[in-house]
Structure 1
Amino acid sequence: MPLTGHCLCKAVTYKVDVDKPVLTGYDHCDDCQRQSGSTYSLVCVVPKDKLTVDGPLKKYEGTADSGNAVYRWFCSECGSPIAHEPSAAPEIIALKGGSLDMEIKKGLKPDTEIWTVSKLPFCQEKLAKPFEHMPQ
């Protein structure tokens, strides 16, 4: 079964002709924190040649610590991040795990963390007040 996903407004959709990601993990780099607006980005690495994308996609070119380009893909309508594409590894692309369809992302099993040098200290703690939904 292929991996499928979309942006928030559903203008951008994608399909990856693989059964599961090569790697699923948490990316703690500062750029991913800023792009996601969160403490890390859940990434699902897949072969780029298996990915098909439809819709109004934009790409932002940034520079990795290595000096190589990193292209961050997002929907030009709603701004949702879709993926990041490292030019240093042209055979892969890192999809943003939150953009996968719900039944697929529920089955993800992150097994890797990268850029832990930038991992925020409070990400180590278990919170005392978990809420299943918003508190009432």
Structure 2
Amino acid sequence: MPLTGHCLCKAVTYKADVDAPLLTGYDHCDDCQRQSGSTYSLVVVVPKDKLSVTGPLKKWEGTGSSGKSVWRWFCGDCGSPIAHDPDAAPEIIALKGGSLDTEIKKTLKPEHEIWTIGKLPFCQEKLEHPHERMP
């Protein structure tokens, strides 16, 4: 079953033609905290070549710990975050789990924590596969 989703105003929609994500987890990096406005970002990693996006998508370029660009994708109308796209791993893209269609996100089973080095001390939940940085 493909993964589908949209932004808050539904102007940006996407579809990832995959049977399952490569990785589902919590990203604790400072940039994801700021983009999500929360303590972490729920990410669903898929092959970038399996993703199609329509609508007024905008991208903002930041710099990752690798020194390479990390592109933050968001809706140009409502500002909802859609994904982050790291140049250091050009074959993958991390969809923002909250942007998935409701019935799909209810089935997610996060197993990984990414960038636990940035995990805030009051976040107590621990998942099966912690990674101090990106695996």
Give the TM-score taking structure 2 as reference length: 0.91
| Inter-partner Cα distance in structure 1 for 2:114 and 2:21 | 16
Task: Report the residue type matching 2:23 in the other structure.
Answer: L
Question: Which residue in the other structure is 1:71 paired with?
Answer: 71
SS in 1 for 2:39: coil
Aligned to 1:94: 94
| CA distance in 2: counterparts of 1:89 and 1:25, whole angstroms | 17
CA–CA distance in structure 1, aligned partners of residues 48 and 14 of structure 2 = 12
Could you report, residue by residue, the CA deviation over 1:4-51 in whole angstroms, capped at 9, with x for unpaired residues?
Answer: 000000000000101211100000000000000000000000000000
1:1-136 pair list within 5 angstroms: 1-124=1-124
Deviation of residue 66 (structure 1)?
Answer: 1.4
Identity %: 82
The 1-side partners of 2:90 and 2:115 are apart by 20
CA distance in 1, matches of 2:42, 2:88: 20
How far apart are the structure 1 equivalents of 2:117 and 2:88? 20
CA distance in 2, matches of 1:117, 1:2: 32
Aligned counterparts of 1:98 and 1:21: Cα–Cα separation in 2? 14
Q: Which runs of 4+ in 1 moved over 4 A?
A: none
Following superposition, the deviation at residue 71 of structure 1 comes to 0.2
Distance 2:67 2:118 in 1: 18
RMSD: 0.8
Tell me the number of residue pairs that the alignment of Structure 1 and Structure 2 aligns.
125
Larger Rg: 1
User: C-alpha deviations, 1:82-131, integer Å up to 9, x for none?
Assistant: 00000011110000000000000000000100111110111117xxxxxx
Which amino acid in the other structure matches residue 60 of structure 2? Y
CA displacement, residues 58-79 of structure 1 (integer Å, 9 cap, x when unaligned): 0000001110100000000000
Counterpart position of 1:134: none
Aligned counterparts of 1:65 and 1:2: Cα–Cα separation in 2: 31
- TM-score normalised to structure 1 length: 0.90
